[in-house]
Structure 1
Amino acid sequence: MYDGFVKVAAGTPRIRVADCRHNAEKTFELMREAGKAGVRILVLPEMGLTGYTCGDLFFQRTLLKGAEEGLQTILKATRSLDLLTVVGMPLVYHNKLYNCAVVIQSGAVLGVVPKTYLPNYGEFYEKRNFVGGFEGNDVITLNGREVPFGSRLLFRCAEMPELTMGVELCEDLWTPRPPSIGYAEAGATLIANLSASDEIVGKDSYRRALVVGQSARLVCGYIYAGAGEGESTTDMVFGAHNMIAENGVLLGESRFKTGLTVSEVDLFRLVGERCRMDTFPPADDSEYLTVPFHLPLEKTALTRYVSSRPFVPEDREDRKTRCEEILLLASLGLKKRLEHTGAKTAVVGLSGGLDSTLALLITTLSMNMLDRPASDIVAVTMPCFGTTDRTRSNAVELAGRLGATLRKIDISATVRSHFADIGQDMENQDVTFENGQARERTQVLMDIANQTGGIVIGTGDLSELALGWATYNGDHMSMYGVNASIPKTLVRHLVDYVSRDNEEKASELSSVLTDILATPVSPELLPGNNGDIVQRTEDLVGPYELHDFFLYYAVRWAFPPAKVFRLAEYAFGKEYSRTVILKWLKVFYRRFFSQQFKRSCLPDGPKVGSVTLSPRGDWRMPSDACAELWLAEAEQL
């Protein structure tokens, strides 16, 4: 449970209708299996001790007694198991029959939650046998002990209060105001749902949408356990549809098989998101009874999927859709800026690298939206001391194929003259040597924009902004930064999409874009070696795939360094060693804090994803904030 991860499971045992002894045996077998797997919270199906399809047998005292005896058997058999388990059974309270969820742990009943909403339409007729739960709480005598009974119960872990669970049953979720809304508003981060939803064609998609959507709406974890094999098939078939969702993401799912569906819910992530969202109300549990339980704090082995490239969808069709949308959003932003300013041209510094390529592609799309010719784009290539023939020729070819107006301006002489003015030795290839070129290029672009009545389009991406890998008042500055919220790992896929998947442009641009994609990322500010690039960005600041991963979890989810590192090890374990990951994690934090001053005065640019560092939008940070706490934690890893 360290780092907020709690291993949870939805389980479906193979039952027999009305055979409570058999069902109890299968239940505690599944509980023991879950315990061995490290599960801390286990949710089982609705009416699991009797079977959901008992019909009028529910009125038989023999069945009701058998269910209670089955519960006693489970409690005795699992006395040494500390995992929290929720089982379903019928119970009589005040001479009425209720469809209940019983929460148990270590051989004891913690509380009982009745089903609130009873379906009595279509193939369901629960009101024939049961009454719905009431608002509020009472006590019920179960196995000779009084335990809490009601629809206003919260189950909270004493060792980790972030683990607070509410319970609802099947139809409760399908109503306009499910009980889970009240639970979440009262502080529940985890919702258990015991269900016996039957299968008909297409119903699984609707059910999945409900579970995933509710987890997103309530910013919670949601465990849904469905009845399955062993239920009567007289009129219905049950598919054992089990799901685990977290804040709109389906972590685990199974259908048509008995056993466990296991994953880990990140409760700290959920609590952090609720803190961030000022529209999520403060927890008010004044109308709820909190039932404490205990679980040992221990490290949870991860099995949930953690993508090593969180900004990039892995499915090709999803990635294609994402690329199309990002290009559209960025192009619409620039279109508005061009319209509003009345710019006659859009000036792009074209290096033959990925970022300037993407900026030019986006600018071309914006001109198309405005029904303006691509010749209104002024693509400027400015070779200097480190420019290679490869990048220069790619820049020229790309501009030509897109129809942009190309200007070639060699800035070598100007930079030499500037260095002479300030007394910079040409042999001293220090930061002044590098930044002098970057600032000269920006000056050229700004002046050409003045000449042509245009605006300068920025090419820097989100990853470079996070690391401060930009020359202040050099490539750091523009009049509209179209790549500002696009991380480097995604820049690559956007260019690749245009190269291969965009039907309109792929054929004519494929060869040049393919070579640009294969070119090492470099600012090309140091002289090459026999025409080859010697200054490779990722050798200097680290792999962008690692930095983008760090950025996503450190900024979007505000995870501490230890948790970011743990996830990075889990996601990149086969690609990078622990030592390498830790090295670049420290670099990330050092640079992220020290370079905030560059982000505090960024030009405008469109937000296209969940992470952006605009000082006017998502990210507010003082330029002189100290990194010591974060670096100290990283040093202890």
Structure 2
Amino acid sequence: MPHYITLATCSLNQWAMDFEGNRDRIVESIVIAKERGASMRVGPELEVPGYGCLDHFLENDTYLQSWEMYSTILSNPDTYGILLDIGMPVIHKNRRYNCRILSYDGKILLIRPKIFLANDGNYREMRYFTPWLKTQYVEDFNLPVLIKKVTNQEVVRFGDLVISTLDTVIGCETCEEMFTPQAPHVSLSLDGVEIITNSSGSHHELRKLNTRVSLIMEATRKCGGVYLYSNQKGCDGDRLYYDGCAMIVCNGEILAQGKQFSLDDVEVLTAVIDLEDVRAYRALASHGIQSRLSPVYERKHLDVELSPDSMNFDITVEPTAPRPCFYHLPEEEIALGPACWLWDYLRRCKGAGFFLPLSGGIDSCATAVIVYSMCRLVIEACDAGNEQVKKDVKLVTRDENDDNFPKTPQELANKIFHTCFMGTSNSSEETKGRALELSKKIGSYHVNLNMDTVVSSIISLFEVTTGKKPIYKIFGGSNIENLALQNIQARLRMVLAYLFAQLLPWTRGKKDVGGLLVLGSANVDEQLRGYLTKYDCSSADINPIGGISKNDLKRFITWSTKSLQLPILKSFVDATPTAELEPVTKEYVQSDEADMGFTYDELSVMGRLRKVEKCGPYSMFIKLLHIWKDKKTPEEIATKVNSFFWYYSVNRHKQTVSTPSYHAEQYSPDDNRFDLRPFLIDPRFSWGRHKISSVLDKMKANEKIDTMTVD
């Protein structure tokens, strides 16, 4: 006899500290889940205040206002008749906890604090919360007065416990706990818990989703059971983009998978599951034996049947069939993730649009194409009937007239995206032409300017003041003169970018609409190497490609040539990367890779070794001896490693003022958040160099012995 149960999970575009907006999205997801016949709904981690509140979690106001919003959810009749799993922070015995609160019909059933906190990479949960390390331990929690008035309850159970209903048992684990070696879902499953919820605040990184999905599927493939995974989506107000992709998995098979990138603020997934399938899957002798040795959880009983009419089930109801998992290509992830992040940022800061210095190189080109991809997503959402996106478009364009509503991505881009080619005598006609042609294809409002007179004025000012005139290296100048002349151009571009961003809407007759957000376009490899001028046009409001490697950007542009129908992009891929800050002669054309002393391939490999594999100079050298054994000599590898750490160290200070960037790579050098290294470092790494030299000496000695033996 089947026991059909309809379960719901969701992805919500929550915003840190947007209590009322977050509350409304939670309620909307509950209403949708009920309309689809669900008897249980699971939401994202810390969904009431928003996951990314950071140090606002240290403020008591955050906890009070979370309870105030939660009380309105509990007292709302629209939320009755369904078991709710809602995430919010709670103070218990003067300690702050990251909690799940489970309720039914306006009554709180239990509060389950997070046991293992995320505390590496982008996450600092130990800074705000205390982990509930005592598994299977439970104690009483005195409810706040404002909740007592709503629920008529004085005390609820607080700790690591589960809910038993008339027909099943439900337990929780939260985000990071799924990634731990002794994940709670194992003990929960062995104690007879059939439905496990996981509420998450997991961010997007390129190629990361498969790791998350494999863990979710493995959680029930080995133990059996139902797994409801909920995740936040959208820009929560910082560098991260939470990429949704809520899932319902049963016995190791996916029944429902949400979108990874979407402009929908509320997405609800439901699936119909036969609980008898879980019981049959677990009918193994080894499971039964291990269950006798596993911990026992306290059960809070709910006198409700979540699979109603199991004695008289509807034969027309069909359990949800398994489906294959869907993954985007990395190139698609670049087109979609940063685009969704940009739209969230723009609409929430109520900006009038974006301004981008479009140089004709691949980095600014990629940034422009991401904005164009954003415009495509917005128009597609509007065509699909998304009223919230339509409302946001009118807010951003400052135009309530339906007759003027943009119908194509190019029309939207022309209203909110402004590009500018800032040329000098060092700029080529090719880059200028590419920038102009791309702007026409994507619809941006484009202007050209020549800043030679401004550059000359600055140089003349210096000459009049000091009596000295710097000249470029190719004309006989020193390195310091050459660098200073390049930096003048780069920094002036930043000044001009903000001038034009502030006034371009005004020149188009849009008075009092506010300025445009200036976009940066320095990629992760250049930031790691420090190959940019501090406070140049890489200094901007936000940077959608600051966490993306040059190689991935090239692949993205190649993909976009066909997928976004922009054939002009091929010329960007084929062009040699150059800053165009030095004069071009018959003998010399400036090249990024030549200037840096590294190829982008090399920087990508070394960046991952430094951050992801946690290598210092010596350990990086040893690893590269094997990785590059067929490409470079040991001496060449040693030179590359020493040079890499030298430039990384002397340029580390630049990361302290780096433009906030979309986090897409694990080796991002983003300071203050992801890469917590000092910015005053001895660039010599003398002992590391000494050890590298010792290895080289040994290798030379062994090579000499081998040669003598052969002779």
Structure-2-length-normalised TM-score: 0.43
